[in-house]
């Protein structure tokens, strides 16, 4: 009979060492040869993956740069930017305002094919920081019209 089928009374099982899981604190047994590896510190794969996820956040991430992030990223992820976008969409009645809108595509959702709307800054986001959140500086465009608008510049 193989060693794995002998049960808890087998000499192989008795050679195991009791350990505490570093994530949940549960006690479990592990072979002495496995202690070299990090896996021997956790009772299950779930606990191992949870600890890896937690240990890689914030300052523990190898790509951490002292909490700095580009200004552009911070502004575009802000609540003000989201509110500006939603207000521009509501003002334009959730409809693409593009002048050269493709005739085979609907201008808004509910008219067949799904339309992905994007808020476009009429005056550049980078060149006019004072107009970034001005409602009059926004325009609702579908993805296709927005790409065409960028190419024209």
Selected residue with higher pLDDT from 2 and 52: 52
Q: Are both 83 and 147 inside the same structural domain?
A: yes
Q: Are both 51 and 110 inside the same structural domain?
A: no
Full residue range of the structural domain in which residue 97 is found: 76-152
Q: Are both 81 and 56 inside the same structural domain?
A: no
Residue 80, pLDDT score? 95
Assign 11 a pLDDT band (cuts: 50, 70, 90): low
- 70 within some domain: no
Q: Are both 130 and 83 inside the same structural domain?
A: yes
Question: Taking a C-beta distance cutoff of 8 angstroms, is the pair 29, 16 a contact?
Answer: yes
Considering its fold, how many domains does the chain have in total?
Answer: 2
What are the pLDDT digits (tens) for 28-48? 887 776 666 666 788 888 888
What are the pLDDT digits (tens) for 56-111? 777 777 777 777 778 888 898 899 999 999 999 999 988 889 887 777 778 777 77
CA–CA–CA angle 94, 99, 102 (5° rounding): 80
Distance CA 92, CA 108 (A): 11
Q: Are both 147 and 81 inside the same structural domain?
A: yes
H/E element, 83? helix 79-91
Assign 51 a pLDDT band (cuts: 50, 70, 90): confident
- 147 within some domain: yes
Q: Are both 80 and 148 inside the same structural domain?
A: yes
Distance CA 44, CA 91 (A): 53
């Amino acid at each position: 009979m193989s060693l794995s089928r002998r049960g808890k009374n087998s000499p192989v099982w008795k050679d195991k060492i009791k350990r505490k899981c570093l994530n949940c604190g549960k006690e479990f047994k592990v072979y002495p040869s496995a202690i070299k590896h990090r896996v021997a510190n956790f009772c299950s794969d779930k606990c191992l993956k949870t600890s890896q996820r937690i240990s890689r956040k914030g300052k523990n991430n190898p790509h951490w740069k002292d909490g700095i992030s580009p200004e552009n990223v911070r502004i575009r992820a802000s609540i003000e930017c989201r509110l500006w976008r939603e207000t521009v969409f509501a003002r334009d009645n959730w409809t693409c305002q593009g002048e050269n809108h493709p005739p085979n595509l609907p201008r808004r959702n509910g008219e067949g094919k799904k339309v992905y709307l994007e808020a476009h800054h009429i005056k550049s986001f980078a060149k006019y920081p004072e107009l970034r959140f001005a409602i009059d500086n926004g325009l609702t465009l579908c993805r296709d019209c927005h790409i065409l608008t960028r190419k024209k510049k």
